Amino acid sequence: GAVVSQHPSWVICKSGTSVKIECRSLDFQATTMFWYRQFPKQSLMLMATSNEGSKATYEQGVEKDKFLINHASLTLSTLTVTSAHPEDSSFYICSATGLAEETQYFGPGTRLLVL
């Protein structure tokens, strides 16, 4: 199957700082990427959907000014958590799909811990 990577795999930051997470499709062009958040023992919660070259569509309750998403190329999307706070600590996962792909492929996830 197609491969999606995320970087970093884990990050610890101080409260008030910003953190950028990268999501890359390694062997296909991702026309659409999705960002999810997962808290311990819970299911994945969709945060936003991004299409290459256009603004992301955020789910209800997700602050677009706090979670900045950029999908500038067909292989890269970034999620920036601005002014992070301890309650933003979570497991962030991206997925990607392309025109030629028949499914969404998920990245390995990024563990964020805000102190």
Partner 1 sequence: LAKTTQPISMDSYEGQEVNITCSHNNIATNDYITWYQQFPSQGPRFIIQGYKTKVTNEVASLFIPADRKSSTLSLPRVSLSDTAVYYCLVGGVGSSASKIIFGSGTRLSIRP
Is 99 a binding residue for partner 1 by CB under 8 A? The answer is yes
Is 6 a binding residue for partner 1 by CB under 8 A? The answer is yes
Is 36 a binding residue for partner 1 by CB under 8 A? The answer is yes
Is 97 a binding residue for partner 1 by CB under 8 A? The answer is yes
DSSP result, 44-70: EEEEEEEETTS--EEPTT--TTTEEEE
Is 98 a binding residue for partner 1 by CB under 8 A? The answer is yes
Tokens of 36: 């999810």
Instruction: Kindly tell me the burial class for residue 1, based on how many C-beta atoms sit within 10 Å of its own C-beta (0-12, 13-18, 19 or more).
Output: exposed
21: helix, coil or strand? strand
Is 54 a binding residue for partner 1 by CB under 8 A? The answer is no
Q: Select from 49, 80, 82, 89 the one that contacts partner 1 (CB under 8 A).
A: 49
Q: Select from 11, 68, 89, 106 the one that contacts partner 1 (CB under 8 A).
A: 106
